[in-house]
Structure 1
Amino acid sequence: MARSHLAWAARVARWADTALGPGRGAATADGKATLSAATAERAAAELGLTAARVRAEWDTARLAGLVEVHGGSARPGWRLRAWDRDDSAVLRGWVALFDAWSLACPEPGGHEAAAVAEVVSAMPQVLSFLQLSAGPVPVEQLLDLLRQRVTELRTERCEVPYDPRLEPVRPLAAAPAAAALAPEPHSADAGALAPLLDWALRALASVGALTYGAPQATLTPLGSWAVWVKLEQICVAAQSPAGNIEQAAEDMLRGCAQLRPNAARAEYRAWLAARPVGSAVTELLGAARGEDALLRGLAFEALRVVGGPAEPEVRAVLDEPALRPYALLWLAEHDGVDPEDAHEVLTREEATWLWVDTAAAVTDHGESAMLVRHLESALQPTVPALLDEVRAVGHPRTVQVLVALAAAHPDPALAKAVRRAAFQVHTGGV
């Protein structure tokens, strides 16, 4: 079903890849990777569709990850490349489209952004009810459920409506009678929610999650499966093995530092399942920007668990010197390069920076023997050559790393050379 629902989006994405590849024209006109009018008309003529349908399928392809946007350009996503051989890639693409249902159709005008956000936040409960019902549900019943959920959300935020035109507060003696007549302060208005529910159901129907007619809505088998997967993710998150699910990214990564790789990945999965992907990636990159080199490496390990959805944000940090080597390795592995060969994408300077950064993590959190072994992993064939290049890259932790290495190394002559290099970096000498 997922393959069928995305079939035309995949065809439009493949057409764009063939017709608009490097040197064959430009797909966009606004710097946002949306199709220009000329491109849409051309695609419509060649694919036998209307220009409006081409634009709709292009948008679907972008939301499903069949097309990936980079700045003002678009290119085939990994899911499109894996379309013919990997059913799981197709399913992941559809789930990405399902997650983005609120972008699939324009929201109705005349509603405050806060009201729209409340409906989006409340829809998982509506979908869960549809899944449990396992059949058609009257829209009036869904509207009542939506009203209750929005009321709960407002109550949780302790919202009290304010209107300066209201009369002053009555004396306490009159309060009971007034309270009996006054409406519930947090109660949501079903009439105001009805057009937003209609929009939400139409949007979910457009991505294939449900069928929707005026009197009722029914989850499709694909939609029922997606809701089940989301519920399962919540259960996985609730079973966070090391108990870090509610922690901020930095604290979660610290909690994973002593775990074995498989256990750490399970913890990353649980932590990620409890958060929207976008905010989780932003939080992980924020932790990676800190001074702790260990957290930098662990953050990118967690981003490997995220996979494809993290690519735009990871690509965006390539201009940050401290993150660039990690981002380049992540992108190489994401593109299918064997992890053992991924280091070949780094320049000598980037590899040396990464060596110093890793040494800083070992210095702060490891044992002296690990630091000595780390010396053996350097690309440079000799210690003098390594020291020359380490001094040149200008890593802020160079002095501390060299001092720690000199103190840990059992060879007095080598330790002396390393101490001399540390002194030279500290004083700015050569």
Structure 2
Amino acid sequence: MPQMRFGPDDEKAFYAACDDIVDAFEQTPAGDEFSWVARTILELKFTYLGGDLTTWSVDDVEQILLDIYPRKVSIEPGDERDILDGFAALLQYLEAIGIVGSLDPRLVPGIQRSLHEFTAAMADRSRWGMAKSLMAEADDEGVDVQDSAALQAFIDNINARSWEERGRIFGLDRTAPEPPLWGGGPMPGAAVPSEAELRASAAGNVWLRRLRTFVDWVGAGKALTDTGNLRRADGEALVALLATSDRITEKQGSFTYRFQSSRELAEVDLTFALAAALGLVEVRARKLLPASPAAPLDDPLAAWRMLVTAYLDEIGPAAHRWRLHDDDLRGSHAAQVDAAVPAMLATIYLEHGTAPLTTVVEHLGPVSKPFDVTLYEALLALRRLGEMGVLVIEPEFDDLDLESYWLKPIATGLATTTATLTGLGTWFLQDRARRQGFGVAGSLIGHPAAELLRAAADLPDDESLAELDAWVGAHDNAAALLVEAVRDAGEAERSLAFRALLRIGTPAAPAVASLLDDPRLRPHALVWRVDAGLAAESEVRVDDADGLMRMLSAVLELWGPQSLPHWASLVAAPAGSVRLLESAWRSTHPATGDVLAALAEHAGDKVVAKAARTAHFKLRSRS
């Protein structure tokens, strides 16, 4: 029989054999209809499952239908049944001609029963690979993928988009929400460094540098072992290239142990796993290749966030360490540890950024006994997160310290050791909370008033007010700082500033009074004084249309259109709002049109609404 087992270097031989099989299959009744399915299945088997056409397992079939097909292959809706029928017919044909010795009797019935599951998997965008996601997005945006110039322009445009937009397209961020430890509502706030400082810290992180170096090393591609690992020689070379602490040899008594698999090089293997999880590389036919298109690393802060997210949610700190030892005592605790690590980080955050390890590891459950595997694994995970720049452990501990902690009661080993979040770590947990649908309050307390107002203006209303309250509570001279910032603020920022000043109340009065000498902000200050109960209504009354528009434009800006009818009657008395509105179209105030339109819509008094509409019409006719 011709060769039917193919390795990564047998591409030419495989495609020759594939052509022969498909050509012969086409001569059968089923093959005439499903030859296109057969060719795809054979190519997937060669490219992703080792290339042995003589052996087909239940796991092979499930991977092809529920993982590889959804991730790599685009089909027309309604083709699912044909693919399943063609797959089953191909396997029966391979058995009939002797390529497969004895087909597992579960395979064909299993394929034929999987229509619903296969259809759902093909429609689930979270299963799609990056190339398939890119082509689908191109199709959605009307790009002709056959036009190379148009396709390249589209890819360039994708690369220029925000990380969040690229993450939506490529499915890079699939973090599942967790119940918040703070009991719901916005996450308690904490100060974080400026964005420039965060980017600088992320750019200098050793693990991000390792990812860049690893991708450069992969180049056009590297061969992998039959089990999908890096080759031993490559693993050894990467220890030096990535500057890891992995040990090539280790002395154990009189015996010197040398690593047998690159998986034993924990930091090298973790770099490989992170690069794959972030979409920087992919494995095809036992070759490690750069992903096409690769996830960008041009934004260090976004890339660092994805790195830590992948480590926590996709790889798992303990799961990665013990994936070779599924039946090992420590391996059996990996899921427990990995589920607890995010809660440990949240505990440090809620303890104002610093907590003793005795408090941090409480999420593991009782761990006071001397020999505790989960505690040992949790400490290793925290130390790795320290390397990634999430936290700092003081005093630092090395492997000997870990063994000591592992073998001692926790109260004597960890009581004086603390974990403190870095600025990056604090930002990461706040960003994670937001992505999981929770607000964060107080993260802006370290910002100047002007930056506070700009940032708060972009937040949902409840988060914005929570930020203002937290910031005001952290500054003894908050009113004076806000008044100074409001002089150069935009409309949205001014509204937020006066809302914050109103929440401060009477103590803000001296600072607000300084605005009464500013013609542009005097109306805002007067409105604030009335709302704060510090001014008589007579202070805000006017007897001319320009004065009415100045006051009402401040009301519109600060409190919205629903407040205009009440303030119109208040400001215009005793002259009456209708009389002033009749001449308001002559006003030169820039917000006159907006005020009249809003008042016409929201005035409950029909006479007032009609006067506002008439004035608005005259104003538009004049212009």
TM above 0.5: no
Normalized against structure 1, the TM-score is what? Answer: 0.31
